[in-house]
Amino acid sequence: MVKGLILCYSVISVTFYSAAVSGYWAFGSKVSSNVLKSLMPDSGPSLAPTWLLGLAVIFVLLQLLAIGLVYSQVAYEIMEKNSADVTQGKFSKRNLVPRIILRTLYMSFCAFLAAMLPFFGDIVGVVGAIGFIPLDFILPMLLYNMALSPPRHSPIYWFNIAIMVVFTGVGIMGAFSSIRKLVLDANQFKLFSNDVVD
């Protein structure tokens, strides 16, 4: 678990924070919440090579696929517990067909909801602040301290506590700011609008 967390936070530090810092450095406070949108302005040429923008889009799709696989497991588990036959094999036709149908319907519903709401990014911000920050940054540290019980005077124990405190604050600030932005953007709301609220 420790090796996995170190790898996870290293990748996040290099990829996400470097994109956030460089986007803010290049565009200032006018940077879009989607940095690709800032690199492809509505008027004028794109500000990055086409191959780099294509690679970024591929990485975004891969990240969305990973998010769909990881964070939707709870929904899949609930749906499949009621539709599966435990006496048959996991990949039997009886269990595989309902699994494919239910997962497809679930992802289609999520895609429909995203297309329907022009400020889906604001909703994702609220969900991220309330759900993903605790799940990714607070719970692993808490579980590590509970499972391995490092001594209370050890640096690892206090490092975990510090991470929990900092990201609790980040989650609270993120929740308030995301909810505020959602409320401010709500007056521009139109179903299935092409004008994405930024």
Q: What sign does the dihedral 105-106-111-113 (CA atoms) show?
A: positive
- What integer pLDDT is reported at residue 30 of this predicted model? 80
Q: Which residue has the tokens 């179903």?
A: 191
Render pLDDT for 9-27 as a digit per residue (tens, 0 to 9): 898 888 878 888 888 888 8
Region of 189 (left: φ > 0; alpha: ψ -120 to 50; beta: rest) is: beta
Q: Measured in whole angstroms, how far is the alpha carbon of residue 176 from the centre of its chain?
A: 17
pLDDT in tens, 150-194: 999 999 999 999 999 999 999 999 999 989 888 887 777 777 776
List of residues 6+ apart from 103 with CB closer than 8 A? 72, 76, 79
The pTM assigned to this predicted structure is 0.59
pLDDT score of 103 more than 60: yes
pLDDT reported for residue 197 = 54
Alpha helices in 44-92 (DSSP H): 50-71, 73-83
Cα gap 32→134, rounded to integer Å: 25
Query: For residue 47, is pLDDT > 70?
Result: yes
Q: Rounded mean pLDDT of 131-143? A: 88
pLDDT digits (tens, 9 = 90+) for 111-130: 888 778 777 677 778 888 88
Among 32-41, 69-78, 133-142, 180-189, the minimum mean pLDDT is found in: 32-41
Q: Across all residues in the chain, what is the average pLDDT?
A: 84
Residue with more model confidence, 71 or 26: 26
Residues of the chain with pLDDT > 90, as a percent, come to 21
